[in-house]
Amino acid sequence: MAEFTLDLNDDQKEVRDWLHGFAADVIRPAASEWDEREETPWPVIQEAAKVGIYSLDFYAQQFFDPTGLGIPMAMEELFWGDAGIALSIVGTGLAAVGVLANGTEEQIGTWIPQMYGDPGDVKVAAFCSSEPDAGSDVGAMRTRAVYDQAKDEWVLNGTKTWATNGGIANVHVVVAVVDPELGSRGHASFIVPPRTAGLSQGQKFKKHGIRASHTAEVVLEDVRVPGSCLLGGKEKLDARLARARERAGGGGGERGRNAAMATFEASRPAVGAMAVGTARAAYEVALDYAKTRTQFGRPIIDNQGIAFQLADMRTQIDAARLLVWRASWMATTGKPFTSAEGSMSKLYASETAKKVTAQAVQILGGNGFTREYPVERMHRDAAIYTIFEGTSEIQRLVIARTLSGMPIR
Active-site residues, by number, are 389
Task: Please report the DSSP string for 108-165 in residue order.
Answer: HHHHHHHHHEETTEE--EEEE--BTTBSS-GGG---EEEEETTTTEEEEEEEEEEEET
Q: Would you say 164 and 126 are in contact if contact means Cβ atoms under 8 Å apart?
A: yes
Length, in residues, of the chain: 409
CA nearest to 361, candidates 295, 272, 283: 283
Q: Is 370 helix (H, G, I), strand (E, B) or coil?
A: coil
**What distance in Å separates the CA atoms of residue 383 and residue 371, rounded to the nearest whole number?**
17
Distance (Å, whole) CA 47 – CA 70: 21
Q: What angle do CA 2, 267, 107 make, to 5 degrees?
A: 90
Helices within 224-292 (DSSP H only): 234-249, 259-292
Q: What share of the chain is helix, strand, coil (3-state, %, to 5)?
A: 60, 15, 25
- Please give the C-alpha separations between residue 287 and each of 27, 293, 319, in angstroms, as whole numbers: 21, 10, 18
Asked if 377 contacts 32 with a C-beta cutoff of 8 angstroms, the reply is yes
Q: Which among 65, 70, 69, 85 has a CA at the least distance from the CA of 24?
A: 85
